[in-house]
């Protein structure tokens, strides 16, 4: 096993590389890595492997596949200066759980699942926006009590959305909402063609009917949706978070809903997941709670496995990896 400073161009060196899979919880499907047969030695760190054992496994792995993308185990077990994976791939779009100094400062390459979730999450956001505009939650509640109560609903064509987060997911959401006739502005870390910079954010929030958060979680974005920003929004505005839970100050959102600062919200991600049964979020007025499922359409796990196998092919051939995270920024930079 070569040392950390030495280039290790995958299978080209002769010996099969070791791929360590950080397994997901029991019951979750494992990645289908049959395509790596004969090309890699695939080892598994079962869900709940203790930190010392995981650290030992990491010291022997060339590649780490973080299949349990909700885990903080890698951070805890990351080896010191000795041998460690040269490439870490996480089966998620967000990489915040891997943004710890030892990995950031190392020459280990980090890649993510960029691309897999764009379309599914964009559809999910469209579903939430339309459900809120058409008052579907109340329709379902009235159906449950067999009540026929006609109401007027809202048109979405011509309304305004502000999508925060200009990665491929944010772009896909903006395109989907625009296809529904919603006038959509996209806000990212730096202004560029089709993307507003942070300086425009508050102004855009103040006139949006729909505020959609699809930003990566970084030190800059943490808690960005707080009482001040909910206070800027219109009383008829609705807020959707499909990014990461800590982008939102949850208590501030609950207060904003109770005080009718905004008309409604939908959260698919939370500061602590799974959301505990006693959380005030379950019953906040006008809040739709879903269990971190926005990107998970049928076959998503297989798609994530396929994506890793494809990246592995590049790695073993010595071709450049795609989906490489800029570890200083905390996401994959793009257009």
Task: Tell me which of 3, 5, 155, 193 binds a copy of itself, using CB under 8 A.
Answer: 155
- For the CB of residue 10, give the shortest distance to a copy of itself in the complex, in Å: 32
Is 26 a binding residue for a copy of itself by CB under 8 A? The answer is no
Q: Which stretch binds a copy of itself (CB under 8 A): 34-42, 98-106, 274-282, 306-314?
A: 274-282
Find tokens 């161009």 and name the residue: 9
DSSP state, 295? T
Q: Catalytic amino acids?
A: 244, 273, 292
Is 290 a binding residue for a copy of itself by CB under 8 A? The answer is yes
- For the CB of residue 59, give the shortest distance to a copy of itself in the complex, in Å: 33
Backbone phi, psi, residue 87, to 5°: -140, 125
Is 80 a binding residue for a copy of itself by CB under 8 A? The answer is no
Under DSSP, is residue 167 helix (H, G, I), strand (E, B) or coil? coil
> Between 278 and 328, whose beta carbon lies closer to a copy of itself?
278
- For the CB of residue 162, give the shortest distance to a copy of itself in the complex, in Å: 20
Backbone phi, psi, residue 301, to 5°: -65, -40
The 127-146 contact track toward a copy of itself, x by CB under 8 A, reads x--xx-xx-xx-xxxxx--x
Q: What region does 223 belong to: left with phi over 0, alpha with psi -120 to 50, or beta?
A: left
Is 322 a binding residue for a copy of itself by CB under 8 A? The answer is no
Find tokens 């979020």 and name the residue: 281
How far is CA 210 from each of CA 54, 71, 94, 162, 201, rounded to the nearest angstrom? 43, 31, 22, 6, 13
Is 291 a binding residue for a copy of itself by CB under 8 A? The answer is yes
What gap in Å lies between CA 63 and CA 46, rounded to an integer? Answer: 16
Q: What is the CA radius of gyration of the chain?
A: 22
Task: Tell me which of 154, 286, 306, 329 binds a copy of itself, using CB under 8 A.
Answer: 154
> Between 125 and 232, whose beta carbon lies closer to a copy of itself?
125
Q: Which residues pair with 69 in a beta bridge?
A: none
**Contact of 114 with 93, CB cutoff 8 Å:** yes
**Contact of 211 with 239, CB cutoff 8 Å:** yes
Is 280 a binding residue for a copy of itself by CB under 8 A? The answer is no
Contact footprint for a copy of itself (CB under 8 A): 119-120, 123-124, 126-127, 130-131, 133-134, 136-137, 139-143, 146-157, 176, 179-181, 273-275, 277, 279, 282, 288-293, 296-300
């Amino acid at each position: 096993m070569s040392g950390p400073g030495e280039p290790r161009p995958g299978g080209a060196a002769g010996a099969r590389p070791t791929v360590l899979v950080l397994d997901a919880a029991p019951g979750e499907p494992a990645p289908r890595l049959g395509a790596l047969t004969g090309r890699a030695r695939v080892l598994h760190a079962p869900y709940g492997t203790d930190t010392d054992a995981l650290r030992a496994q990491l010291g022997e792995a060339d590649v780490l596949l973080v299949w349990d993308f909700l885990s903080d185990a890698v951070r805890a077990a990351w080896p010191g200066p000795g041998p460690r994976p040269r490439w870490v791939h996480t089966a998620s779009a967000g990489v915040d759980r891997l943004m710890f100094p030892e990995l950031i400062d190392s020459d280990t390459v980090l890649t993510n699942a960029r691309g897999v979730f764009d379309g599914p999450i964009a559809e999910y956001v469209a579903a939430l926006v339309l459900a809120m505009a058409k008052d579907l939650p109340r329709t379902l509640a009235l159906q449950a009590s067999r009540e026929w109560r006609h109401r007027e609903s809202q048109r979405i064509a011509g309304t305004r959305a502000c999508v925060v987060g200009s990665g491929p997911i944010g772009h896909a959401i903006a395109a989907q909402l625009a296809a529904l006739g919603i006038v959509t502005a996209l806000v990212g870390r730096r202004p560029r063609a089709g993307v507003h910079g942070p300086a425009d954010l508050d102004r855009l929030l103040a006139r949006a009917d729909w505020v959609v958060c699809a930003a990566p979680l970084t030190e800059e974005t943490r808690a960005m949706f707080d009482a001040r920003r909910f206070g800027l929004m219109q009383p008829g505005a609705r807020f959707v978070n499909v990014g990461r839970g800590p982008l939102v100050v949850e208590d501030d959102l609950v207060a904003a809903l109770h005080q009718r600062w905004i008309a409604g919200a939908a959260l698919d991600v939370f500061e602590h997941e799974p959301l505990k049964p006693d959380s005030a979020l379950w019953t906040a007025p006008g809040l739709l709670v879903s269990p971190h499922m926005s990107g998970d359409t049928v076959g998503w796990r297989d798609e994530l496995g396929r994506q890793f196998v494809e990246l592995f092919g590049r790695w073993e051939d010595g071709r450049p990896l795609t989906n490489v995270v800029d570890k200083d920024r905390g996401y994959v930079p793009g257009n």
